[in-house]
Amino acid sequence: MTKKRVAVLVSGGGTNLQALIDYEKNNNANYEIVLVISNNKDAYALQRAKQNNIETAVISKKDLQITQEEWEEKIINKLEEKSIELIVLAGFMSILSKNFTSKYPNRIVNVHPALIPSFCGKGYYGLKVHEEVLKAGVKVTGATVHFVNEIPDGGKIIAQKAVEVKENDTPETLQKRVMEEAEWKILPESVNEICKQLKNKLKKVR
């Protein structure tokens, strides 16, 4: 059975991309990453993609000096060119408009480094999330994989995994533990499961 064609959108180091690549390599995955798009030409994630012979594209609104609409149009054109069936946001530091998200209902997935509905929404990304977790003094945090709609972190939850907050944690140590214990596990598993469901839907239609 053919694997579902996945595009991963990235902005930075690409550790979640690496987790997806490793899962695909080491399991009989239901997906194949065929495209990595970055809005940052210096993102190390692009190197990770190239090392694994995955096609890359850099589409930067800032560098191209174009509007949000024009920028999204370029991304959509690239996704259509590669017949992408699922889009994964893995550390992608740009908000996508309703115009974009409505084209792909239940076909865009994001991983957020906290247990939604806590510590999420506009402005909550990267280390800021872990700083706020520590400020609040909660004992448990984690990661959430969810579908993407026009509301930041507002789409339906797919999977969550809890991670203990330790007394001597810094935002950096907490970020690392949340990645290792939660993000890198539930993101590939969720993508694999969604692609399996997409394959099964196709079987039924046939």
Which residues carry out catalysis? 112
Measured CA to CA, the distance from residue 123 to residue 36 in angstroms comes to: 24
Tokens representing residue 2 in the block: 């053919």
Measured CA to CA, the distance from residue 112 to residue 142 in angstroms comes to: 9
How crowded is residue 70: how many other Cβ atoms within 10 Å of its Cβ?
A: 11
Beta bridge mates, 89: 9, 110
Query: Which residues 6+ apart lie within 8 Å of 109 measured at CB?
Result: 86, 87, 88, 89, 145, 146, 147, 148, 158, 187, 190, 191, 194
| Selection from 154, 153, 160, 157 nearest residue 185 by Cα | 160
